[in-house]
Amino acid sequence: MAAHPPLPSEMPDAVMIPLLDVVASAGPGAENPMPFELARLPFPRVWLDRLGVPERYARFIDARGDSMEPTITEGSVCLVDTRVDRARRDGVYVLVDGNSVRIKRIAIGWQGALTLISDNERYPTDTLAAPDAEALRVEGRVVWAGGEI
C-alpha cells in the first residue's frame, strides 16, 4: 500500500500560506483582474524562517511561461514576500502593470535605472531609466519556487 502525502494536520511545523488566484507570467504578462485566495498550502515554518519572511506576508502564486527558466520553471508555485514594494536590491520580483503580472529578475543600475532580466537567454533584457523605474509597481519579491531563490 502506497503512503499518502502528509496532511497539514500531520505537519505540526507547517504554516498554511494563501495560494492566490494570480498567474504571473514569466514572459509578457498575465491578466489578473481581481485576485482572491484559492486555498492555503502547507509550507515548513523552519523554511519560512530561514527565508526571513513573516507568515502574514507570505503568499503563493503560479508562474507561467519559460522566460525565467531555469530559475523558475513553467507551472511553478512561487512563494512571494509581499512586504517588498520596491526593488532595493538585485533579485526576482513580481511586477504589476495594470492587471498584467510578470515575474522578472531586476538588476539595480546606475542613477536609479533598473534592468528587467529574463533568466532564459532567449529573451531580451529591458532597461528602464530612473523616471520609468520609479513608476514600476513591485508587489513582492519571489523568495522560493521549488527551492530558495
- For residue 17, pLDDT over 70 is answered with yes
pTM for the whole structure: 0.83
Query: Count of alpha carbons within 13 Å of 45, Cβ hemisphere only?
Result: 6
Domain membership flag for residue 8? no
Phi, psi of 8, deg, nearest 5: -55, -35
How confident is the model over 95-119, as pLDDT tens digits? 987 778 899 999 998 888 899 999 9
How confident is the model over 28-46, as pLDDT tens digits? 555 555 567 899 999 999 9
- For residue 7, pLDDT over 80 is answered with no
Domain membership flag for residue 7? no
Quote the pLDDT of residue 101. 87
Domain membership flag for residue 4? no
143: enclosing H helix or E strand:
strand 137-144
Domain membership flag for residue 149? no
Cell readout for 131 is: 523616471
Check which CATH number belongs to the domain holding 127 and give it: 2.10.109.10
Quote the pLDDT of residue 99. 72
Structural domain harbouring 25: 14-144
Of residues 82, 63, 81, 60, the one with CA closest to residue 71? 63
Q: Quick one: what percent of the chain has pLDDT higher than 70?
A: 85
Over the chain, what is the mean pLDDT?
86
